[in-house]
Structure 1
Amino acid sequence: MNVLRAARFLLSLGMRIDRARLARAVVLMLGGYVATPLAALALGRFADDALAHRVGPTLWLAVVTAALLVAQLMMSHFAHLDYFELAETQESRLRTELIELVNGPPGVEHLDSPAFADELGLVRESLFGGPRALEAVLQLTGLVLQTVITGAILIALSPWLALLPLAAVPPVVFARKAQEVFERAREQTAEQIRLNAHLIELATRIESVKELRIVGADRELLRRQETAWRVITERMWRGQAAGAALRSVGQLIFAVGYGGAIFLVIRSAAAGHATIGDLVLVITLAVQVSVQIAGALQLLAVLQSAGKTVERIDSLRAMAAPRAGRRPGRVRPPEAFAHGIAFEHVSFCYPGSDTPVLDDVCLTLPAGRTLALVGENGAGKSTLVKLLCGMYTPTSGRILVDGVDLADLDPAEWRARVATLFQDFYRFEFTLREGIGLGEVARLGDDAALARAIDLARAQRVVEAVPGGLAGFTGRGYGDGAELSGGQWQTVGLARCLMRDRPRLLVLDEPAAALDAAAEHALFDRYASSASAAARDLGGITVLISHRFSTVRMADMITVLAGGRLLENGTHDALMAHGGQYAELFRLQARAYR
């Protein structure tokens, strides 16, 4: 049951975070809830003593009643101070776990799953809503205790009145069914919610708005967003309407029981079997039961939603767990490559697809050499790079690093030896120092390392273009920063990649696509000369992906991919002499430049 799952999860998490604070909140909350029926009992006795003109007991009961009511308010207030801070800490802890679930696995296969994306979106949207879930657990526990005490008092007056708390069962059952209906509606709209959020982002980001305006697609995008929102609201409205109808049935059953209890006491009082104080007591308790039921229904809805979130977190954990056959790497990678990296009959299909992106690739990257990957878009070049970086494991075959399977290497240790600039690099809208220094977080404050990376990437002009230099902000997403051009952003990304000093594996995926051919050639030539020491001492390997053959020909080895298969492999001179696809593409590009 979702309610019990949420309660167990939140209480156990609270115990791990701050046992004393949780215990204090529970005691105070329960004390406040116990005071309420005791105040009703004192009020009933007060009515009898007042009518009998017993002044002393009347005054004493008035003080007791007031003290109990004040205790109820004060205890609830002080409990709030404890559980509110504890709940915020819980939410922070869970958000941290959510980040770890996304980033913790050694690969990124789970991020390609639409089911993972749906669950992640629903968890992000409903991560307990601050202190409400823990508050609901404590309050519902207090309500249960309060209901037990209320039932005992009512039974003491008349066994028939024991049916009043039982009349609370149908509203709880129907409320649970109503919440299940609502949760199904949320799950059915998860994909549309993600689509709606994406369309809103497209319609509000400067990078996309300018292109949408030019092509005249802004109205079409808004139309699609409105359609997605209409689907969401219609399905959610139907779920809420069905849930409201179910809750109404449960409330109607309770209303009948409530009216019956009042009728029984009035009839008993008319027959002389009950006092006015008993009537006041029953009416007060009946009102309390009504409030308890209304509160319990709201709390159950919160806890059922929280329980569903806990279930989704468990689902995310399962999806983020290493897939079957993937061994947790524990072997420390070599400090220096003695032989290099070898692909042995490597094939790869993206999760959820049977179409191979790489098919039976056999390739050797010798230590201390530079490899250039060539091929048309979709040939599998970027996928091969992702496999090299350990972001995916081959569907079949294996990748050996100095004879050790890459899957056996410690993923964190391997990533620490790799520097990459991906084709779809991210534009971090931080200070320029952070945007570059993130390439090696441990050296973020090292001005000499920053200066070296900036020099290698020829990024000095970008530094000069940003007001405040390295301390200035880039982008306008989170402040009044400098708006960089595509080429400038790529230069920042390249400098970030080059922050890692002497990496064992350097991957440059279209590192200067926004630059002209001469600038890219000069950039690679400059890096190649400065990296020769690392290649000589550590056997460092550089992998370059570029469509410009003037740069590609500088590599020690050139590999041509087509349709995910290795088509050609060799030096520039050997491939030109062979007269295959590489030679044809090289001559075509050379003629175009001439």
Structure 2
Amino acid sequence: MRQTLKGSWRLLTIAWRLNPRKTASAIFLMFGHVTMGPVMAAGLGVMTDAVVGGDGAKAAWCGVLVAILVMITLTFGNFAHIAYTELSEIAERDLVEELMLLSNGSEGIEHHERVDYADELTVLRRDVRRLTLAFEALFGTLGLVLFGLLTAILLGRVNLVLLLLMPVAALPPLLSGRWAERRIDDAKTSTAESTRIALNLFRLATSARFGGELRVFGLRDELRRRHRQEWGRTSRGLAGAYGRGGAIRATGQVLFGLAYTGAVLLVIRDVVAGQGTIGDVVLVMVLASQVNHQVITAITLLGTLQRVGSLLQRFRNVRKLVTVTHPEPVDQAPPARLTGGIVVDGVDFAYPGTDTPVLSGVSLTLPAGASVAIVGENGAGKSTLVKLLCGLYQPSGGRILVDGTDLRRIPAPAWREQVSAGFQDFARFELRTGDVVGLGDLPRIGDDGAVATALDRAQGADVVARLEQGLDTQLGKSYTNGAELSGGQWQKLAIGRALMRETPLLLVLDEPTSALDPQAEHRLFELYAEQARQVRAGRGAITLFVSHRFSTVRMADLIIVLRDGRVVETGDHDSLMGQGGLYADLFDLQAKAYR
């Protein structure tokens, strides 16, 4: 109950913050809609007594009043629905934006590797779209509070026993409803993994991007089988929870029904004994009917509010997961230029939730102004090391020093402004072509001249030349007239985006040319090496790249060889070939493939 109350208060404060006028209007209209019921019941009771007493005029006026109350109830209910629907749309946008911020606005990306984060996110993505019901529940519950007060006053006037009987009778269905919702929420959490897998399979089976591979390998029925299996696990888990919840809810309703019958019999006994009127019987029967309806409504509303409380608690859980604690003060600015370079000092790293180290005792120096290549077999830890240098992960042990300053003491946003990166798993932003590249340097996103220069450096001008509207071409199939590009063309735009910042302290290229042919990659890295030599005198910038193509790697000033998360060799191409170690073996193996 505490979580429900906290969630309701949070929801109300969100509504008030977003639009106080609409919030006040919704509360007023819902109060009017719900509280007219008891007043209408009182009017029917008075009208009945007037009819029995032969007072036609009074009965007629009471009838008119009841009719007016019915119209007010319907009118207020309709406009209340409009008000909280508008509020829910605003609040949904606000919470979706908060979810986007929580997911991508944190310092690092460790939380993306956590299973508990993935489970919370799966439920949030599904439930955040249900805020219309949440606001209906919130304002409906506020109206029910006033309804309960008016009903208590009217019942107490007829018989004080009823004042105690009806609230007590309402407890079983309310408590059973809360129990059921807890079981359902637990079931959602326990089935989040299978739900996430099923949704991913659905995405794979319906995406045009993977259509060719699915057809070549005949994967249609296999994906359907796996989807049915995972969705079946989810359905069985949820169906069991909903079934048990329905049974306990029914038990609560039966108990209320028995109390309802007892209340009517009690008033009839008083009337027979001359201690009440026929109007009292009508009043109690109408109120009891309304109370029964409102209890059923309250169960639904409180269940919804309980889900909202759980939803907002999940937001708090996600916020904790993405919050990075700093054991050291964050009080140093990044250097204006690199003079010594970047030192990796005994760095260990394991992904969250696992005990398996990805990097172990990694120590190396990236000299200022150098072009550095990282090579190694798949799974050696190359991309992980690159992301540590970008500040996307924090080392589990050891430290990274930038000109002698621990990277953890430099504010993440300040360091990121000095870093530019192109990754193999680059994003395909479905935007205007110029903006797709310009995102790499937001202050200059609208500068088409700067975009064209970056594309020239990335050897991607040919991509724009083939587009009908050049840099103004809309990309992506999300738009009716959006242009679709090949994988290599998308990759050239991503490389151009990485080169928008002309003088970063650290330029990272983590296999950004995997979709290009070897000759194109070689020409591109020759250009990078030349540019690195040009800017090293000014800022001491480091160019760091990862590639499986050794014809490209050999151009680097320094080559770092990783195996099983450890540095096994360092040096330039000639020295490493002379050692006859892992690098020489890998180079010779690849060279034979081209002979």
Same fold (TM over 0.5): yes
Query: Aligned with 2:357: secondary structure?
Result: coil
Moved more, 212-221 or 114-123: 212-221
Instruction: Give 2:279's aligned residue.
Output: 277
Instruction: Give 2:17's aligned residue.
Output: 16
User: 8 Å contact 1:5–1:310 — kept in the other structure?
Assistant: no
Which residue identity lines up with residue 227 of structure 1 in the other structure?
Q
Residues 299-348 of structure 1: per-residue CA shift (max 9 Å, x gap): 1111111111122112111211214x555734221222122111111111
Which of the numbers 161, 174, 178 marks the counterpart of 1:172?
174
Query: Aligned with 1:425: secondary structure?
Result: coil
Instruction: Give 2:302's aligned residue.
Output: 300
Distance between the aligned counterparts of 1:174 and 1:460, measured in 2?
A: 66
Q: CA RMSD in A?
A: 2.0
Instruction: Give 1:493's aligned residue.
Output: 494
Instruction: Give 2:119's aligned residue.
Output: 118
Assess, with a 3 A threshold, how the Cα gap between structure 1 residues 137 and 328 changes in structure 2: closer, same or farther. Answer: farther
Aligned length: 593
User: 8 Å contact 1:506–1:542 — kept in the other structure?
Assistant: yes
Distance between the aligned counterparts of 1:362 and 1:39, measured in 2?
A: 81
Moved more, 9-18 or 168-177: 9-18
5 Å-filtered alignment, 1:249-260, equals: 249-260=251-262
Distance between the aligned counterparts of 1:57 and 1:206, measured in 2?
A: 73
Distance between the aligned counterparts of 1:429 and 1:19, measured in 2?
A: 36
Which residue identity lines up with residue 199 of structure 2 in the other structure?
A
What is the CA-CA distance between 1:489 and the residue it aligns to?
2.1
Instruction: Give 1:228's aligned residue.
Output: 230
Distance between the aligned counterparts of 1:200 and 1:329, measured in 2?
A: 43
User: 8 Å contact 2:373–2:556 — kept in the other structure?
Assistant: yes
In the superposition, the TM-score normalised over structure 1's length comes to 0.95
User: 8 Å contact 2:463–2:489 — kept in the other structure?
Assistant: yes
What is the CA-CA distance between 1:533 and the residue it aligns to?
3.0
Distance between the aligned counterparts of 2:506 and 2:196, measured in 1?
A: 36
Instruction: Give 2:65's aligned residue.
Output: 64
Which residue identity lines up with residue 414 of structure 2 in the other structure?
E
Moved more, 522-531 or 144-153: 522-531
5 Å-filtered alignment, 1:532-543, equals: 532-543=533-544
Which residue identity lines up with residue 226 of structure 1 in the other structure?
R
Which residue identity lines up with residue 483 of structure 1 in the other structure?
E
User: 8 Å contact 1:369–1:542 — kept in the other structure?
Assistant: yes
Instruction: Give 2:436's aligned residue.
Output: 435
User: 8 Å contact 1:466–1:474 — kept in the other structure?
Assistant: no
User: 8 Å contact 2:48–2:282 — kept in the other structure?
Assistant: yes
In the superposition, the TM-score normalised over structure 2's length comes to 0.95
Query: Aligned with 1:435: secondary structure?
Result: helix
User: 8 Å contact 1:116–1:316 — kept in the other structure?
Assistant: yes
User: 8 Å contact 2:448–2:471 — kept in the other structure?
Assistant: no
Distance between the aligned counterparts of 1:72 and 1:165, measured in 2?
A: 24
Residues 518-563 of structure 1: per-residue CA shift (max 9 Å, x gap): 2211111123323433222111110011122221121111111111
Instruction: Give 1:45's aligned residue.
Output: 46
Distance between the aligned counterparts of 2:59 and 2:225, measured in 1?
A: 71
Which residue identity lines up with residue 474 of structure 1 in the other structure?
L
Distance between the aligned counterparts of 1:589 and 1:32, measured in 2?
A: 77
Distance between the aligned counterparts of 2:175 and 2:84, measured in 1?
A: 28
Assess, with a 3 A threshold, how the Cα gap between structure 1 residues 508 and 128 changes in structure 2: closer, same or farther. Answer: closer
Distance between the aligned counterparts of 1:274 and 1:586, measured in 2?
A: 102
Instruction: Give 2:196's aligned residue.
Output: 194
User: 8 Å contact 1:467–1:482 — kept in the other structure?
Assistant: no
Instruction: Give 2:383's aligned residue.
Output: 382
User: 8 Å contact 1:372–1:544 — kept in the other structure?
Assistant: yes
5 Å-filtered alignment, 1:316-355, equals: 316-323=318-325, 326-327=327-328, 329-355=330-356
Distance between the aligned counterparts of 1:513 and 1:69, measured in 2?
A: 70
User: 8 Å contact 1:331–1:408 — kept in the other structure?
Assistant: yes
Percent sequence identity over matched residues? 44
Instruction: Give 1:263's aligned residue.
Output: 265
User: 8 Å contact 2:529–2:555 — kept in the other structure?
Assistant: no
Assess, with a 3 A threshold, how the Cα gap between structure 1 residues 428 and 128 changes in structure 2: closer, same or farther. Answer: closer
User: 8 Å contact 1:466–1:473 — kept in the other structure?
Assistant: no
What is the CA-CA distance between 1:143 and the residue it aligns to?
0.9
Moved more, 381-390 or 573-582: 573-582
Instruction: Give 2:242's aligned residue.
Output: 240
Instruction: Give 2:86's aligned residue.
Output: 85
Which residue identity lines up with residue 332 of structure 1 in the other structure?
A
Which residue identity lines up with residue 95 of structure 2 in the other structure?
L
Distance between the aligned counterparts of 1:137 and 1:584, measured in 2?
A: 68
Which residue identity lines up with residue 564 of structure 1 in the other structure?
G
What is the CA-CA distance between 1:478 and the residue it aligns to?
4.3
Query: Aligned with 2:372: secondary structure?
Result: strand
What is the CA-CA distance between 1:197 and the residue it aligns to?
0.2
Distance between the aligned counterparts of 1:334 and 1:389, measured in 2?
A: 15
Which residue identity lines up with residue 164 of structure 1 in the other structure?
M
Assess, with a 3 A threshold, how the Cα gap between structure 1 residues 343 and 4 changes in structure 2: closer, same or farther. Answer: same
User: 8 Å contact 2:371–2:532 — kept in the other structure?
Assistant: no
Distance between the aligned counterparts of 1:34 and 1:327, measured in 2?
A: 58
What is the CA-CA distance between 1:395 and the residue it aligns to?
0.9
Instruction: Give 1:413's aligned residue.
Output: 414
Residues 544-584 of structure 1: per-residue CA shift (max 9 Å, x gap): 11122221121111111111111111222322333332233
Assess, with a 3 A threshold, how the Cα gap between structure 1 residues 128 and 151 changes in structure 2: closer, same or farther. Answer: farther
Alignment pair present for 1:29 and 2:30 = yes
Distance between the aligned counterparts of 1:401 and 1:115, measured in 2?
A: 33
Distance between the aligned counterparts of 2:208 and 2:537, measured in 1?
A: 46
Runs of 4+ in 1 over 6 A off after TM superposition: none
Which residue identity lines up with residue 44 of structure 1 in the other structure?
G
Instruction: Give 1:146's aligned residue.
Output: 147
Which residue identity lines up with residue 239 of structure 1 in the other structure?
A
Residues 178-229 of structure 1: per-residue CA shift (max 9 Å, x gap): 1112222212211110000000011111222211221222211111111111
Distance between the aligned counterparts of 1:436 and 1:147, measured in 2?
A: 61
Distance between the aligned counterparts of 2:430 and 2:17, measured in 1?
A: 36
Alignment pair present for 1:570 and 2:551 = no
Which structure 1 residue ranges, 5 or more long, are not aligned?
none
Instruction: Give 1:455's aligned residue.
Output: 456
